[in-house]
Amino acid sequence: MAVRTIEVREKVMARNNELAGEVRQVLDDHGILSFNVVSSPGSGKTLLLEKTLAALGEELGIAVVTGDVQTQNDADRLARHTVRLVQAVVTGGACHLDALQVQDALTAIDLARTKLLFVENVGNLVCPASWDLGERDKIVVFSVTEGEDKPLKYPKMFKVSRYAVLNKIDLLPHLDFDVELAIRNAKSVNPDLEFFLTSARTGEGLDAWFAFLRSQVAAHAAR
Ligand code: MG
Ligand code: ZN
């Protein structure tokens, strides 16, 4: 099936960028580090965030805003791992989150107790690349059950992301997926991408991911 994208008028985009600036300011005022987690559908990013919340939710004061097109299933899954509020945004058909939705979601979150904010975007590698949500960095998640050419097919997403997570590596023995090729493809689009290889399911590679988050939060606090 063809991928459909919404044509966005420049005015709408300009307004979004303005609101993203406001979100960025609020996060900055509270010393909160923020990541916009983008991915293809079914890459396992909700499970990655579930494991992250379970391990580091309290330690790093993690808050999550999670977007879904039509359900709040992901938010429900995440909420099992934290006593803190997981703010669901149901986009009602839209294939991405926008800054206004994040701004609204933040009013429900205890920002004083938050050090790290994950915004889990809608699973879609196309238009979320164009929507600034006020985050510091985008993290793109994809998995070894997809093609090694994902970064070449969706170059903009890999270009605007600073970090990449290649997930489901526990499945590698059953697949012909070439990890080196996937990384090479991604770096041909964005040489600065930093990679994490993980299996959210088995926990493989999560130590490095957790260590990264700890050091990022510490560095952010020390600014
Ligand atoms: Mg999800
Ligand atoms: Zn969209």
Residue 3 placed within a domain: no
What number of other Cβ atoms are within 10 A of residue 212's Cβ?
13
Residue 55 placed within a domain: yes
- Rounded distance between C-alpha atoms, residue 47 and residue 39, angstroms: 12
What is the DSSP-derived secondary structure letter of residue 2? -
Q: Is 205 left (phi over 0), alpha (psi -120 to 50) or beta?
A: left
Query: Model pTM?
Result: 0.93
120 CA to centre of ligand 2 in angstroms: 14
Instruction: Note the pLDDT of residue 7.
Output: 61
Residue 198 placed within a domain: yes
Domain count, the chain: 1
The answer to whether the CB of 163 falls within 8 A of the CB of 137 is yes
Band (pLDDT 50/70/90 cuts) for residue 219 is very high
Shortest-distance ligand to the CA of residue 77 = 1
- Residue pLDDT, tens place only, 52-86: 999 999 999 999 999 887 878 888 888 888 777 78
24 CA to centre of ligand 2 in angstroms: 21
112 CA to centre of ligand 2 in angstroms: 31
Residue 164 placed within a domain: yes
Shortest-distance ligand to the CA of residue 13 = 2
Q: What is the CATH number of the domain that holds 147?
A: 3.40.50.300
Q: What percent of the chain has pLDDT over 70?
A: 97
- Residue pLDDT, tens place only, 118-176: 999 999 999 999 999 999 999 999 999 999 999 999 999 999 999 999 999 999 999 99
123 CA to centre of ligand 1 in angstroms: 7
Question: How many residues in the chain?
Answer: 223
